[in-house]
Structure 1
Amino acid sequence: MMILYIKNMVCNRCKMVVKAELEKLGITALNIELGEVTIEKDLDASEKAQLDLVLKELGFELIDDKKSRYIEKIKSLIIELIHEQNNDLKITLSDYLSQNVYHDYFYLSNLFSEIEGTTIEKYFIAQKIERVKELLAYKELSLGEIAFQLNYSSVAHLSNQFKKVTGLSPSHFKNIRLGGRKSLDEV
């Protein structure tokens, strides 16, 4: 059994594409999560190189170094938390990340800032704003419902954060649909 870490695998569609490519190569995936795949057997160097080549053509990349794996794990956890679990967090983000990455948050925070050039908190906020944009585009929920769903303390807090990040108020964004949405790996 072997765990592969894959950069830019940030959504369910990405998981499906990676699974299909693994199957084409005759590699059995036991478990696929955002950013990582557990496969049945260890790959030799040539198999790994072939897989990396296929993945790169699709915009993914195998990650071998430990620091990059930590970064991808943090990103995957945040994306999953916001886009799949609607930010339903019962503990602090720092505790959540520490418990799931199995490392001290201070170390993770410094590493993330050093490699990504932004803080974990700013990345978290950017992901939340992308989720707000998505929910606004669907026009099914009110701003109050979106604020509640994403655990904002108030509509005003959501609105202020949205404007700070996008330069637009949520209602203005909803009306003109400018500012476009970004794919999750571009946030």
Structure 2
Amino acid sequence: MILASLDGGYIDNCTSIFEYMKDHCTLNIGTINAILKAYSCSDMFAKAKKLFESVKEMVSVSNGSAEVGSLEPDAFTYTSMLVSCASACQWECFEFVYKEMTLSGYKLELSRHSWLLVEASKSGKWHILEHAFDTTLESGEIPHSSLFMEMLCQAIIQQDFRRSTPLLNAMALACMEVSERQWTKSLKKKIRIASVSRNCRIY
């Protein structure tokens, strides 16, 4: 019902249904995930964070209770929280949630959510992108093309040519096609951001 209300654009109904369920039903992670998605799609970061933290707290003090164990966060829980953090530009919280996600053995579905890592990198969290990129390679998979582009642009800006050359070779081997216009647009944007960042440090 929460997801149906969300699909129909009735955000207030999502919250009302969830509050009713809290009073009359035993919550499970599916319900939590549904309302987290509603919060993340509606710029309700504060509510999403509060719910996420309360769920973790309940699980940590449950002492293995089967009822509370059904609230154990899963990949969807972490992903929804990452979307909420990114939408609110809460990058410190984003990093914390990403670390928890990886420590819990979950990975982002990069075919759908690579944009989260690219935005994190643009906001100063390049090491998160680098970790996801390297982890994907280690698992024998090919990272999304947007991750390749962001990694390569960052390497060029940082003048890390020992890293940029293998990245270019890997893109060629993976038969990735990126237009000259895409490269130019991406590099110009990265150089402009890097220049502003340097000027801020000077002053």
- Higher RCO, Cα 8 Å, sep 6+: 1
> What's the TM-score, normalizing by structure 1?
0.32
Structure number with higher strand proportion: 1
Higher helix share: 2
Please give the TM-score of this superposition, normalised by the length of structure 2.
0.30
The structure with the larger Rg is: 2
